[in-house]
Structure 1
């Protein structure tokens, strides 16, 4: 076996390193392009402001009878065989706005849900009626109103006795 001295190994390594450095291409001088003619920056695009709802619910009333002008006298207690009317007063302009009313029983179960398409250009009252020929179960209920799927107006609570 042939022994290679440490100085020979170092010499070979130094020669290899010099050879690698010598083979490297010279980097061309990097020239920076002349600055482009200044153009005005584009005007910032303003953030769109969220559109106010076209129709707003001004009040929600629960009762069992509607007058000729669609107004409903508010009742806190209804009878089991009563018709439940959710009266929704709105203001604004809408074309085919989906106005919905949902009745929820005290245990969270949906007791009824209906919707109507609202076409209006001013203040208006819309009544949504719920009936149950077999009678409403006694207990507490909540009437909730939505416009185009978004909660609107104050939920109303009432009781059936």
Structure 2
């Protein structure tokens, strides 16, 4: 039988994400924000009487509409939900989206966590603790 000498065609490489693909670049948790809505100083310990906590999410890339969600949890005991907040954003470059939780009373001491999702997929997480200084 005749043998053909055809060059094997390599499988197509998976498409790389576009350079301006929308993504979360960083997450910071703190007790105050600046004029650009960024957390002034990232912290992982807070006093029980700290009324407001912030999570600033820095994103890169562009989107016509993505949903960021921050889910705050108290991890002691049964891992109770503190707050879940979603924000829909549209941007054509670096942006900051800030979430906050407030407690007019004292925060229970213990471990907490904030999870950030982008369109339902977890993309960042930060643990922190509330305790007397």
- TM-score, reference length from structure 1: 0.64
* Highest RCO, 1 vs 2 (Cα 8 Å, sep ≥ 6): 2
* RMSD across aligned positions (CA): 2.1
Query: Any unmatched runs of 5+ in structure 2?
Result: 1-11
> For 1:9-158, what aligned pairs fall within 5 Å after superposition?
49=15, 54-72=21-39, 73-82=41-50, 83-107=52-76, 108-153=79-124, 155-158=125-128
Deviation readout 1:64-108 (Å, 9 max, x if unpaired): 100112221101111223211011000011122110111111132
Deviation readout 1:4-60 (Å, 9 max, x if unpaired): xxxxxxxxxxxxxxxxxxxxxxxxxxxxxxxxxxxxxxxxxx798586694211100
Aligned length, in residue pairs: 115
| Structure in which a larger fraction of residues adopt helix | 1
Tell me which residue corresponds to 1:10: none
- TM-score, reference length from structure 2: 0.77
What is the CA–CA distance in structure 1 between the aligned matches of 2:28 and 2:130, rounded to whole Å?
15
Query: Any unmatched runs of 5+ in structure 1?
Result: 1-45
SS in 2 for 1:75: coil
| Structure in which a larger fraction of residues adopt strand | 2
What is the CA–CA distance in structure 2 between the aligned matches of 1:64 and 1:133, rounded to whole Å?
14
